[in-house]
Structure 1
């Protein structure tokens, strides 16, 4: 499959990939927070680290597919505002939903002024609740792309994104480097006191959003076949596993979410997916909507609801890790499906996805 096969309006393969990535994130979160799986299965769930970067790349790609084809700055500005409004709306509504559970937990278990202030601080600089940090990070990444493209080419924005990714990696997966350079350690310490983490829209969002934009603009210039792109993606995935293993074994790193081999993997995996043509079907729209709902609602059943009901109830439900995992996935999918179906009659539900 050659370059001209890349040019088409619908990329149904992306909807399939996003849905599978959303399921992988649920599985990994359940495994780390509730499950007791054999070590090899537990490690297999760690592959989920490809999912959030893929969401960034995919969003940057799809945004750019239309944005850079618009004729004038006014049209581009209106499209950007509409895109950002959608992200912000979803984030604010889910923040409100999760905040209700936070308040109930504060009332039930008691809280201190410092804990409340910590919540407010993290909400302002990072996220209102775990996992949905992706939404404000995406908003920041897209906003930076919009601003920078007025002065810089997409290639230069991408190179800037790579530099920012390195800075972010030194604050996360490669934080052990700070032990060797005291100046860096002090800088990152001050930064983390304010912004909590470097896994955000600047150091994690923009690099992958810019990668998606780069692929969108230059996809016609790639001469790789689907087979070669799939092969490169596979070996890049193996490299991610090796890099993560080395970091964990020899450097006791805090997480593999910002390893360097994620960059070539996401790049070639995205190229591979857009060469795959799938037959037209409404099922892909369902998968697209489900992937968003599954991603944003999973914390209801992993964290929020378990946080306000007796622990023994959840422990009994999740006692068997395999049954517990299937239960969480099943409930999340059912809830997501009902919200999407319900939105056909009650349009206000559309603000959730």
Structure 2
């Protein structure tokens, strides 16, 4: 019997990468700021949790991973992280954002990322190490309590900082915390929650009907949407990546994705989505340079939708070419049917 795959997860990898690009380019600000807000600040905030959950799900879907398997996954992310740091090093030098202060180096490497989107890579590594160690010593309920506490600490320094910073003790705590990280959206406070949810779904079979999951998604999404609107009414927001309802909508949505099973999968999409995630800020720079060099700033830069499409197009083209180069000119088709176990 052939192995079951989850093609909808592969498709969602691409959609999530498109949403991440949208967050960083605001594609509809020239036409409809309200719709742009919905896409970037609501739908867009589901993308990174989805990536975390996907990583954990396929790491834990054969049971508790061995240390060797964990080490292999972390090594892959570490190599990608180092290559990404080197890729954006010239950009940092050019825009004078490179610092050699020890505290800044530590923050950039382990917390914030050396470029604004690269926080995700150390966050995956740190989050997986935390989760794996917790599983080695504690039961699942205790682990869940710990990741909830970590998430709540992050939440209070993120979307809810505006509500809580006036409390002296809380303000003092986060003043000290923000000396070692610019945001609480990192591998210590953000990643463990969604990695745990992915691992949890991998180890437990849920038999919810698809229509039940759709209902739960719609309810949790409406709560998530209202919460996001309320958060953005506040005068001070350190960030808006973490909300109370985000884990719920992420859990139900990922569960919904798992209901689509097949003997086929979209093999290419895993690497393509990762490469696009890494490359798209560089393509933003390229598109802006093209606009200035051709004196077409009103099209390449000011026209938000064209800017988004140009960045997206270049990101996918370059990503595909790099994968083609990596594979020696051979890439699987859109899907592959196989009985062999792959890494997803």
If the TM-score is normalised by the length of the shorter chain, which range does it land in? Answer: 0.7 to 0.9
Matched, 1:13 2:8: yes
Q: Number of matched residues? A: 324
Alignment of 1:114-193 (within 5 A): 116-117=100-101, 120-126=105-111, 127-193=113-179
Q: Is the 8 A contact 1:105 1:307 kept in 2?
A: no
1:209 paired residue among 195, 207, 211? 195
Looking at structure 1, the residues matched to 92 and 234 of structure 2 have their Cα atoms a distance apart, in angstroms, of 38
Looking at structure 2, the residues matched to 314 and 35 of structure 1 have their Cα atoms a distance apart, in angstroms, of 18
Q: How well do the aligned residues superpose, as a CA RMSD in angstroms?
A: 2.6
What corresponds to 1:44 in structure 2?
38
Looking at structure 2, the residues matched to 251 and 162 of structure 1 have their Cα atoms a distance apart, in angstroms, of 26
2:312 paired residue among 329, 340, 345? 329
What corresponds to 1:277 in structure 2?
261
Looking at structure 1, the residues matched to 116 and 296 of structure 2 have their Cα atoms a distance apart, in angstroms, of 19
Residue 94 of structure 1 and its aligned partner are, at CA, apart by 0.8
TM-score using structure 2 length? 0.86
Q: Which 5+ residue runs of structure 1 have no aligned equivalent?
A: 1-6, 71-75, 348-353
Residue 191 of structure 1 and its aligned partner are, at CA, apart by 0.7
Q: Is the 8 A contact 2:81 2:122 kept in 1?
A: yes
What corresponds to 1:62 in structure 2?
58
Per-residue CA distance 1:95-148 (angstroms, 9 max, x = gap): 100012222334xxxx7x9x5538535323421111121111011111111111
Per-residue CA distance 1:149-190 (angstroms, 9 max, x = gap): 111123321221111111100001000233331011011001
Matched, 1:297 2:279: yes
Structure with the higher helix share, 1 or 2: 1
Looking at structure 1, the residues matched to 307 and 7 of structure 2 have their Cα atoms a distance apart, in angstroms, of 31
96-105 or 141-150, larger mean C-alpha shift: 96-105
Matched, 1:77 2:64: no
Looking at structure 2, the residues matched to 40 and 253 of structure 1 have their Cα atoms a distance apart, in angstroms, of 19
Q: Is the 8 A contact 2:4 2:262 kept in 1?
A: no
Q: Which 5+ residue runs of structure 2 have no aligned equivalent?
A: 331-344
> In 2 relative to 1, CA 285–243 (structure 1 residues): closer, same or farther, beyond 3 Å?
same
TM-score using structure 1 length? 0.84
Q: Is the 8 A contact 1:244 1:259 kept in 2?
A: yes
143-152 or 166-175, larger mean C-alpha shift: 143-152
Matched, 1:257 2:230: no
